[in-house]
Amino acid sequence: MRFPKTPNYSGFFAPSGVEAEVSHIPVIEGEVPADLDGAFYRVAPDPQFGPLAGDDIWFNGDGMVTMFRFKNGEVSIKQRWAHTEKFLLEKQAGKALFGAYRNPLTDDESVKGKVRGTANTNVMVHGGKLLALKEDSPPVWMDPETLETIAPIYDFGGKLTSETFTAHPKIDPDTGEMLAFGYAAKGLLTRDIVFYVISPKGEITNEVWFEIPYYCMMHDYGITKDYVVFHVVPITSNWERLENKLPHFGFDKNKPIHLGVLPRNGTADDLRWFSAPNCFASHVMNAFNEGTKVHFDTPMAEGNMFPFFPDIEGGAFEPQKAASRITRWTVDMLGNTDDIEMTRMTELVGEFPRIDDRFAGKKYRHGFLLVQDFDKPVDLPGGRSASGMMMNTLAHIDHETGETDTYWVGPVSSLQEPAFIPRPGSTEEGDGYLVVIENRLAEMGSRLLLFDARKLAAGPVATLQIPFRIRMGLHGNWAPAEMIAAA
Ligand SMILES: [Fe+2]
């Protein structure tokens, strides 16, 4: 038997293993705008083999990349596994060789020292390369047109000095630079961070090294015009946990959070730290600065949001404390306090925040996210996210008016993270579309939905049938045709 019959491998979470090429998929309702020319890339964990230890968390599956290519009002699909070093070694062996999530002590002896990355968290095109990313390892370089893996371990021509590379790099919309970082950059569990500036052609042009107050899962971060912003949150670990075969991360409710702000052209000496009491935040909607005042918008929860990374003292998971709401953290680089001012931006409970990426790092108005609407019925709960949330609603928050616009997907479906597609020829913020995968739980199938980003309540402008089930995924991004062809 290839996979165990555990919740992580059953129902909608059953591994897919589908590598596919479909020339066009049926439009069920509406119309795909004929002028959309580009691709929506996204990735999901999809294990090639059953786990060594009998079960594993969803986060540890091998990265399966999907490309939805939009052209002339039609959408075609390619879906391929990212060929990581781990994937290739296990394929050759015909079985799993790597053990638990972020714990090399559980690996087969034959793969000691090999790269454990799964490339399952994010995919984006930069410098003509499709990069498949997992925060514990270097990028995987894939061909943006064919999805062939070109380099299982991409080190930027030998210039990558870190052992790791974030799955949430940002593209500066003005310069085209990719701004990225690595945590545990000098090795597993180390407190070393490196921040990288990568030119539009894909060359590392600057790096800054520093240490964080304690090792943590530094999953995302923020960029502004003048600064980069790192949040240290109390999802932490140590060798003792790994030796005891506990989940790599655990939540420490005794630790404060920290916010490190680094001037983009500065050195580690210019980094300033701010702090606030214990809480949880992982993804970042956007950040921006007004002079030396830095704003950082994040879905923030009172307590642990990850039941699979339990309380380090054995405390029970508290779902009511896991509810996250977009909150603005503000600090002043020249201020006389190290405290973080916190302002809640909405009462909607949600995660997977996105923006019109042309406004990354800038003062912005439009935010998008997946929301859990508790007032709506849930007939089939099998499509919950890994954290247990039932993402049944797509939401738009207008930070200027405070108004929200939402679309509920119904009681037998859930949604995956949206990506923003600018309307061709437009420059106005929010003028464009949101592309979203709908998990059709009753039929174990999937649809692709396209919305006008500022008219969500009106429903999708196009609904497309995907001819196979798309596994629950993490992140993705749009790339216009000229970026794909640049490869
Ligand atoms: Fe993420």
486 pLDDT exceeds 60? no
Query: Tell me: the pLDDT tens digits for 359-369?
Result: 999 999 999 99
Residues 6+ apart with CB under 8 A from 158: none
Give the helix/strand (H/E) hosting 483: helix 481-485
Q: Mean of the pLDDT values across residues 79-104?
A: 97
Dist CA 457 CA 106 (whole Å) = 48
Residue 50: its pLDDT value, please?
A: 95
- Say how many Å lie between the CA of residue 244 and the centre of ligand 1: 27
Per-residue pLDDT band for 182 (boundaries 50, 70, 90) equals very high
- Ligand 1 centroid to 457 CA: how many Å? 26
Distance 460 CA to ligand 1 centre (A): 25
Distance 390 CA to ligand 1 centre (A): 17
How many A from CA of 335 to the centre of ligand 1? 31
- How far does the centroid of ligand 1 lie from the alpha carbon of residue 57, in Å? 15
Would you state the pLDDT for residue 383? 82
Q: Read off the pLDDT of each residue in 118-133 and give the average, rounded to a whole number.
A: 98
CB 397 within 8 A of CB 356: no
Residue 198 or 384, more confident: 198
Query: pLDDT-derived band of residue 380, with 50, 70 and 90 as boundaries?
Result: confident
Please state the rounded mean pLDDT for residues 151-173. Answer: 98
- In sequence order, the 6+-apart residues with CB closer than 8 A to the CB of 160 are 138, 154, 204
Task: Please give the distance, rounded to the nearest whole angstrom, from the Cα atom of residue 167 to the centre of ligand 1.
Answer: 7
| Tokens of residue 397, six digits | 């928050």
Q: Is the pLDDT of residue 308 over 70?
A: yes
What is the full DSSP assignment across 42-95? EEEE--SS--TTS---GGGSPEEEEEEEEETTEEEEEEEE---HHHHHHHHHTS
Sequence-ordered alpha helix ranges (H) in 196-349: 239-243
The share of the chain scoring above pLDDT 70, in percent, equals 99
DSSP, residue by residue, 105-131: GGS-GGGTTS------SEEEEETTEEE
- For residue range 408-462, what is the model confidence (pLDDT) as tens digits? 999 999 999 999 999 999 999 999 999 999 999 999 999 999 999 999 999 999 9
pLDDT at 138 exceeding the cut of 80: yes
pLDDT at 1 over 60: no
Q: Strand, helix or coil at 397?
A: strand
Secondary structure of 179-217 in the HEC alphabet?
A: EEEEECCCCCCCCEEEEEEECCCCCEEEEEEEECCCCCC
Please report the pLDDT score of residue 485 as a whole number.
81
Ligand 1 center to 283 CA (angstroms): 6
User: Residue 75 Cα, ligand 1 centroid: separation in angstroms?
Assistant: 26
Chain mean pLDDT for the chain: 96
DSSP H or E stretch at residue 149: strand 149-151
**3-class SS of residue 354:** strand
Q: For tokens 């996250």, name the residue.
A: 324
417 CA from centroid of ligand 1 (Å): 10
pTM of the model: 0.97
Ligand 1 center–CA 220 separation, angstroms: 7
Rounded (5°) CA angle 376-379-383: 95
